[in-house]
Chain A
Amino acid sequence: MNTMSNAMTASLVDMPLSRQFGAYLAETRCEIRRYLRMPSFLLPVLLFPAVFYLMFGVLMSSSSDGGVARYLLGSYTTFGVMSPGLFGFGMSLALERDGGLITLKRALPMPPSAYLLGKLVMAMLAAATVSVLLMALAIGVGGVELSAWQCLRLLVTGILGVVPFCAMGMLIGTLVKGQAAPGVVNLIYLPMAFLSGLWIPLSMFPSFLQKAAPIWPSYHLNRIALDSVGFEQGALWPALLVLVGISVAMLGLAVRRLRRSG
């Protein structure tokens, strides 16, 4: 009798791995559905960098060899993959905290990492879309010639490059209220993009701003992106190290805050 009820309890409590995996899958699927059904959020994130690139990188650049268009392809990819991370994580997390969804999910037996994975996968998909759009514009309209290897490298840079900005957005999302989140994210996103030379090359900046550029994670991601499209940047491991470090540190802080206060 007692063994039977023990066995029953065990089956209720212990979840087979396949079902646990199912929770991750379901969370990710729902996250993607939510965004696909919210074009007012998704379209600006996807199209804003593309329109910018078309204006400044393709139409206004006069060089005949496509050098400017090629250079700006790297920078705008960096610019474009920052926003799915910052906005996707930062805004949605802040709103979901305000609305009590996070509290509910914490009360439910949802594996916390399933929630994060859902948002991460969505951000990566958006980053991949942005990267592909920009490459299509560069090759199709800007006359930039890219090898398959370069395309692949830039795509991978975009998809993985979104991670530190997800961590950053997540930290912002745990710190600010839902209503304030879009403003705060923009206040960080746009100056950071400008100051790390994504719109105007750093060489045109006053020297103190040039020296300060490595503060910004986007500067490091941009080096990897530029290297991918053929502008050699020397050793890339420091950039990688910085990005991994920032991701880990910010994720750690955010998870700590979420655990404490939800």
Chain B
Amino acid sequence: MDTVPVSASSPSASPHSARPRSGRSDADAPLARLHNAYKRYGKVIALDGIDLELRAGELLALLGPNGAGKSTAIGLLLGLIRADQGRVELFGRDPQQLAARRQVGVMLQNAELPPTLRVGELIRLTSSYYPAPRELAESAELAGVSELLQRPYEKLSGGQQRRVQFALAICGRPRLLFLDEPTVGMDIDSRRRLWAAMRQQIAEGNSVVLTTHYLEEAEALADRVCVMAQGRMISEGSVDALRDRVRLKRVRCISRLTPEHVASWPQVSQARMDGDRLWISTDAAEATVRRLLDADATLSALEVQQAGLADAFTELTAAADASPANEQKEAA
């Protein structure tokens, strides 16, 4: 696959001259990709050589704690910043070319739009940047802002403003949508509507890259989840695959046994009191439950749960934090 070399140290040697044949549309070609992308800000390594490919028709959730490098990765793909090393490609082109971004829609985390402009004016303005935008009414309908078209942006509630920003993201009929924390500040109703709108984009064959702090959002929407920590991709796969990586189960019950006693069992990795419940984390739920029932005939309110995405996420990122490899990298 053709790639665009990126070099921040010599912006004049940008890839315009050595551009590959652009606009190729092999069915298998990724819409966008990062290859071994590396970016540092002073001493801080924001991206430590990550690979990422976005394919047609998928919703990819990019997860990670603050400072993991999610925004930097998106910034690279949108051409907002340049990689120190590695390759960045958007529709086979350098993302800093307008032509590459004409197939992209964007909703950023915090963008204060001109307060006195009306919603309809904002959508029209953004549509004017694209070759074949949607009709105003269609964009408004998709984002659920049809009743707001005449209202000045500053008069809208936070959730309404986010919906307008979503309308701006889809008005250009983009094949690839970048949504950075799109549902922050939204009430449940707005959030559901936005989820539906995202699903609709996928159904139309478009792709969505979503960063979010709400793991249930990724769980509900994503075909693929990438977890980042400290500038590296520490996990990639489906939501189920990610959950399966964490084999631990949660066991809860009311029991006379003390957490200290239960924690000493070999198959139990952790035990504590959660209110009046005994809370046990184990990778062998069946054996643990058998032993519990043997040891305490009065045991009640027994529950066994698969770890959720949140648990998997916590565990993965904690493991990345503890990994000594990172410190060596920082020092290098």
Interface residues of A, Cβ cutoff 8 Å to B: 2, 5-6, 8-16, 19, 22-23, 25-27, 30, 33-34, 37-38, 96, 99-101, 103-104, 106-111, 259, 262
Q: B23, B99, B116: which contacts A37 (Cβ < 8 A)?
A: B116
Which of B22, B106, B121, B129 lies in contact with A23, CB distance below 8 A?
B129
* 7 contacts across the A-B interface (CB closer than 8 A): A10-B23, A12-B102, A13-B91, A26-B128, A30-B117, A99-B112, A111-B129
The 6 closest A-B pairs by CB, nearest first: A99-B112, A26-B128, A37-B116, A104-B111, A109-B101, A100-B111
Q: Give the complex CA separation of A137 and B152 in angstroms.
A: 36
Q: With A and B bound together, what is the CA distance between A25 and B314 in angstroms?
A: 50
| Beta-carbon contacts under 8 Å, B128-170 to A | 128-132, 152, 168
* Chief secondary structure at chain A's binding surface: helix
Instruction: Assess the A15–B131 pair: CB atoms within 8 A.
Output: yes
* Known contacts A30-B121, A38-B116; is-contact A109 B98 (Cβ 8 Å): yes
Partner of B111, one of A5, A6, A101, A110: A101
Q: Write out the residue numbers on chain A whose beta carbons fall within 8 Å of the beta carbon of B117.
A: 30, 33-34
Q: How large is the interface on B (under 10, 10 to 19, 20 to 34, 35 or more residues)?
A: 35 or more
Classify the interface of chain B: helix, strand, loop or mixed.
Answer: loop
Whether a CB of chain A sits under 8 angstroms from the CB of B126 is yes
Chain B residue at minimal CB-CB distance from A102: B111
Smallest beta-carbon distance B15→chain A, Å: 15
Q: Specify which chain B residues have a CB less than 8 angstroms from the CB of A11 in the assembled complex.
A: 131-132
| B328 contacts the other chain (CB 8 A) | no
User: Is B108 on the interface with A (CB-CB < 8 A)?
Assistant: yes
State A37–B108 Cα separation when bound (angstroms): 26
Q: Which residues of B contact A (CB under 8 A)?
A: 11, 22-25, 78-80, 91, 98-104, 106, 108-114, 116-117, 121, 124-126, 128-132, 152, 168, 172, 175, 178
Choose among B91, B130, B131 the residue with the greatest number of A CB atoms under 10 Å from its CB: B131
Q: Bound state CA distance, A15 and B100, in angstroms?
A: 12
| Complex contacts, B125 vs chain A, CB 8 Å | 26-27, 30
List 4 additional A-B contacts (Cβ < 8 Å) besides A37-B152, A96-B112, A107-B106.
Answer: A6-B25, A13-B91, A25-B128, A109-B98
Chain A residues with CB under 8 A of B112:
96, 99-101
